[in-house]
Amino acid sequence: MNPGYLWALLVRDPLIILSTILFGSVSVAVSFFDPRGWATDKIARAWARLLLFLAGVRLRVRGTEKLAGGGPYVFAGNHVSLYDTPVALTAMPERFLFLVNAKYVRLPFLGTHLRRTGHFPVDPEDVRGSLRIMTEAARTILRRRLSVLVFPEGSRSRTGRLGEFKEGAAYIAIKAGVPLAPFAIRGTREVLAIGSLYVKGGRVEVLFGEPISTEGCTLKDRTRLTQKLREAVASLVAELDARD
């Protein structure tokens, strides 16, 4: 058996699971005394940095200067691995909440953390419910001045190639009247592939693009805006690939 795989199975994976249980439990406890979410955000980011450390991930983030005007934003990027989550928590310069698949909210510890800290669960099969949740996300942006992060493909890409984008990110950004902030992640698929338990180290890069204004847009523009967003993310992915 590959020694690296054995190490991951017997040491690295259990440490990742135990740290997730520990930090999730602490976050839930703290959430009862942290209505603004400042402390739980710091806990989540500490958990994310620990997961990158345990995996041996070397993270490089570029393009944050394009966000110098300040948020909030609707962040939107490609999705190729479960490790995109700790990478995003480490890389994002703004406080944000996730738009997450409802199935993750049903998981022990992680699901409780997601519910208690105000992230937005979306059931892809429930269109009416999804619209309600996205409208609530837009209201939260306006009320709390927090950004929201969306993976517009809706699920992880099994091929690594960029899929079609759903319109949720554009919908939220238009309703909230905030810019879309495109980004691309490269390397997480090699850290943890879909269906694999083998967490490996390696280089991961995050690249931010120029924010896309929604000024003057209505919900009728969401299809056009979604296409523009996908083109921006595709360009960022290609730029990262070209550096290989």
Provide the whole-model pTM.
0.92
What is residue 117's DSSP assignment?
T
Q: What is the pLDDT of residues 72-90, one digit of tens each?
A: 999 999 999 999 999 999 9
Helix, strand, or coil here: 202? strand
Does pLDDT of 140 surpass 80?
yes
Q: What is the pLDDT of residues 185-223, one digit of tens each?
A: 999 999 998 888 888 889 999 999 999 999 999 999 999
Q: What is the pLDDT of residues 7-45, one digit of tens each?
A: 777 788 999 999 988 998 899 899 999 988 899 999 999
Residue 11 burial by CB count (10 A; 0-12/13-18/19+): exposed, middle or buried? exposed
Which amino acid is present at 46?
Answer: A
What are the beta bridge partners of residue 122?
101
Give me the pLDDT at residue 35, please. 86
d(CA 100, CA 154): 9
Task: Give the list of residues 6+ apart from residue 146 with CB closer than 8 angstroms, or none.
Answer: 37, 72, 94, 95, 96, 97, 140
Mean pLDDT of 162-172: 95
Which of these ranges, 47-51, 118-122, 167-171, 203-207, has the smallest mean pLDDT?
118-122
Does pLDDT of 107 surpass 80?
no
- The CATH T-level fold of domain 3-242 is Glycerol-3-phosphate (1)-acyltransferase (3.40.1130)
What are the beta bridge partners of residue 57?
202
Domain ranges of the chain: 3-242
Does pLDDT of 243 surpass 80?
no
**Percent of the chain, pLDDT > 70?**
97
Q: What is the pLDDT of residues 146-163, one digit of tens each?
A: 999 999 998 887 777 899
Q: Is the preceding omega at residue 93 within 30 degrees of 0, hence cis?
A: no
